[in-house]
A = this chain, B = another copy of it.
Amino acid sequence: MESIFEKADSVRSVEDICLQIEAVILDGRLKPGDKLPSERELQTQFGRGRGLIREALRMLKQKDLIEIRKGAKGGAYIKNVGLSNISDSLSLFLKQKDIEPDKIIEFRESLDRTITTLAISKGSREQKSDLYKEALAFYEKIKNGMADKNIIGETDRRLNITLAKMAANPLFLWVVEAIQQGFSSYDYALYEEEKFRIATAKNWHDTAREIMNEDPVKAHLYISNHYCLLMECLD
């Protein structure tokens, strides 16, 4: 079989193996969905033992670059680079640093304001009305007593993602996703008591409406209100 890799450096073997594999992924020689050679084949291509190959694959998996399947037709498959590992690291970072809730709220609020502004100026009419419909449905459900926390949390999350997508800039989407994984716990608190649950859902509805109306000032007011609620709720 044709070898796509070179013999690995004798010191820092694992790093070298990782870099070579990363390279073929990044420069497009292997695309998402493609399969790397089997461990035993890589063993011969890199001229290194299987243990080192496995260590390298673990690192790439941790970086979320590959996915490993068992059995025949198994092996390391190239993934679409996602954000899970970043989010993972971030939540680790936040846990260890023990960051205060009000700092998180401050950050998220400013992020939301920026994203909202962008969403209003860049989002399409259709996106805006879709967002509004989703927020309205959410509000209605909550008003009618729907209270499954998992579903509520998931919907809240999806609304945030939808909004971030409207900003038409993947970097904002990245931060939102990273942050969201780190603090779903806080938002869940907001949906614990009925009082906050309804107020928050109504607030989402109001925000989405103002985004549809393309009124950034009012939208920002509702966003502030959202985080006031959250602050109040956390006491």
B169 touches A103 (CB 8 A): yes
**Would you list which residues of chain A between 71 and 118 have a CB under 8 Å from chain B?**
81, 83, 85-86, 88-90, 92-93, 95-97, 99, 103-104, 106-107, 110, 114, 118
The secondary structure that dominates the A interface is: helix
CA distance A64 to B208 in the complex (A): 40
Instruction: Determine whether the beta carbon of B58 is less than 8 Å from that of A81.
Output: no
Interface residues in A1-51 (C-beta closer than 8 Å to B): 14, 22, 25-26, 51
- Among B81, B89, B179, contact of A63 (Cβ-Cβ < 8 Å): B89
- Shortest A11–chain B CB gap in Å is 11
Asked if A228 is an interface residue, CB under 8 A from chain B, the answer is no
Copies of this protein in the assembly total 2
Which B-chain residue is minimally distant from A99 (CB atoms)? B170
| Closest beta carbon of chain B to A163's beta carbon, Å | 15
Please report A residues at the B interface, Cβ cutoff 8 Å. 14, 22, 25-26, 51, 54-55, 58-59, 61-65, 81, 83, 85-86, 88-90, 92-93, 95-97, 99, 103-104, 106-107, 110, 114, 118, 169-172, 174-175, 179
